[in-house]
Amino acid sequence: MIGTPEPKSEPKAAFGPKLLLASGSPRRLQLLSQAGIEPDSLLPTSVDETPLKHELPRSLAKRLARSKADAARAMAARTPEFANAYILSADTVVAVGRRILPKAEFHDQASECLLLLSGRSHRVYTAVCLITPKGAIRQRLVETKVRFKRLSREEMDTYLGSGEWRDKAGGYAIQGLAGTFVVRLVGSYSSVVGLPLYETVAMLEGEGFPTRKGWLGPS
């Protein structure tokens, strides 16, 4: 008796296009996860983030996002599995006027940032860079205006004591305790956190990446 032929297995999703995130930021990874997108790998890069002389905040954000994407592409090229992947990077810059605030590493830096931000508006620029499997390069820059309340000495000292400011552009994290300082925000909240979701997803979709493939869960 002839047996029933085995059904052919369907291709697995793992063989679809791959996405590499050129960042080790848990915030950016969480934002992508919120959009239902899971990168196939993280490729944190190390680039010099020192602003060039007279460099404007928006130009710095775009340059650093591009530099991170280029560095990640060079790393991915050494791994055959990732040779034809999409590469996504981002960089966030906080500025008061043309003055670029540092990514605070020390207590004094964070304190100076809070003094500058207290009771006034500032701008947050997040640039996103995408390199497609065909080598096309796409970039978007999102500008968001944020206004802080006037901070008391006690509020500043307590926030500095929390340590939340460490390694944060402008010395604060809007998704954390500093969210209580924000009086007004005009623009993209997710961009201030570190990755503008609408623009990022639109850019990926425009270049053929299936952004909603994970929305229904495993088949």
Q: Which contiguous run of DSSP H or E holds residue 157?
A: helix 153-162
Q: Which residues pair with 139 in a beta bridge?
A: 129
Name the active-site residue from 40, 48, 70, 91: 91
Known active-site residue 91: yes
**Residue linked to tokens 């979709």:** 205
> Which residue stretches of 167-216 are H helix?
189-193, 197-206
The pairing of beta strand 19-21 with beta strand 41-42: parallel
Q: Which contiguous run of DSSP H or E holds residue 26?
A: helix 26-34
- The residues assigned a catalytic role are 91
